[in-house]
Amino acid sequence: MNLGPHAAFIVTAYAAATVIVAGMIAWVTLDRRQLTRELDDLEARGVTRRSQRAGEDAP
Amino acid sequence: MTLIDFANPSRFLSFTDRVLAWLAAATLLAFAFGFSQVIAAPDDYQQGATVKIMFIHVPAAWLGIFAWGLMSVAALGTLVWRHPLADVAAKAAAPIGAAFTLICLITGSLWGRPMWGTYWVWDARLTSVLVLFLMYLGVIALWRTIDDPTRAARAAAVLTLVGAINLPIIKFSVDWWNTLHQPASVLRLGGPTIHPALLVPLILMAVAFMLLFLTLHLAAMRNEIMRRRLRTLQMLQARAAAGH
């Protein structure tokens, strides 16, 4: 594929978009990982919501 | 299950758990097909190969505006119905909308330099999009400034609705003022003025970008619901530790 005399601008534009999209994916993934870890940690220490306790107590 | 059932955060979580993987796969497939069409697309008779920047610049611009529109609808949900999922939807959309607006600004600059001879000019379209980006940063900062999510949601909702005034300004800036930016060539009353050989890859990339937005938004909403659960548990723990 010949991108002509302005190839550097085209490649930089696609590279910048890729970096920003990758950053968004990393942000969402790492955020979820950290939240899951913190929630698991609290639940392991016996801190649960009322609705969760009600669900566990139900026959 | 009706649509209203998804307004329950727990049901929404189980729904996102079920659909996210499929949505991510559909996004990947849509981008793979979109890029194959971008590569095959002919050069423009005036712009040459730089027209390929359009395939990421235009969908990013559309999504930057769409995300603020979605936040505005969610803001009404917050202020009128006081629904927590509306707060969650608005908060999760802000960083994603900001990122797409940033892509639009950067790729537009890189397209402008070889075509216009400059990276930036203070014309109405470019300036109003820059204002949109700054408003995104303002809303994100506001969410982070106020600890209580309910109070933060109301303040952010008001700012979002005020900021929505900028959306028609962005859209019609090229008609209302004399700008270096070209007038609308796809979303216009008389129909698109772009040749189908360039329009089809553009629409395919727009579909891929929209699927990416939906995937990221649902994932970010799921995270925000988890963050609120974590906050509730931390408050319960603190209350228990204080002996109440």
Segments making up each domain of chain B, as ranges:
49-179+194-241
Determine if residue B177 is left, alpha or beta; phi over 0 gives left, psi from -120 to 50 gives alpha, anything else beta: beta
Q: How far is CA B156 from CA B8, B115, B140, B159, B214, in A?
A: 22, 38, 8, 5, 21
| Chain B residues within 8 Å of chain A (Cβ atoms) | 10, 39, 43, 48-50, 52-53, 56-57, 60, 95-96, 99, 102-103, 106-107, 110-111, 113-114, 212, 216, 219-220, 222-223, 226-227, 229-230, 232-234, 236-237, 240
Residue B163: per-residue pLDDT: 94
At residue B168, the pLDDT reads: 94
Write the pLDDT tens digit of every residue in A4-40: 888 999 999 999 999 999 999 999 999 999 999 999 9
Q: Which residue of A has its CA nearest to B31?
A: A18
Find the CB nearest A14 among B56, B236, B240. B56
Task: Mark the ranges of chain B whose per-residue pLDDT is less than 50.
Answer: none
Looking at residue A51, what is its pLDDT? 59
Instruction: Give the residue from A20, A33, A40 with the most B CB atoms within 10 Å of its CB, the best one to mutate.
Output: A20
Separation CA B128–CA B122 (nearest Å): 9
Phi, psi (rounded to 5 degrees) for B192: -65, 145
Question: Residue B212's Cα: distance from chain center in Å?
Answer: 10
In this predicted structure, what is the pLDDT of residue A54? Answer: 54
Contacts of B230 in chain A (CB under 8 A): 35, 38-39, 42
User: Residue A59's pLDDT is what?
Assistant: 44
Among B8, B112, B13, B98, which Cα is nearest to B54's?
B112
Q: Tell me, what's the pLDDT at B130?
A: 97
* Chain A residues with a Cβ under 8 Å from any Cβ in chain B: 1-7, 9-10, 12-14, 16-17, 20-21, 23-25, 27-29, 31-32, 35-36, 38-39, 42-43, 45, 47-49, 51
Q: Enumerate the H helices of chain B as residue ranges.
A: 9-40, 54-76, 84-116, 124-145, 149-163, 166-176, 196-241
Question: C-alpha angle with apex B215: B212 to B220, nearest 5 degrees?
Answer: 120
Q: Which of B50, B102, B215 to mutate to test the interface with A (most CBs of A within 10 A)?
A: B50
The predicted structure's pLDDT at residue B1 = 52
> Could you tell me the two tokens for B186?
């796809």
Distance to chain A for B15, nearest Cα, Å: 16
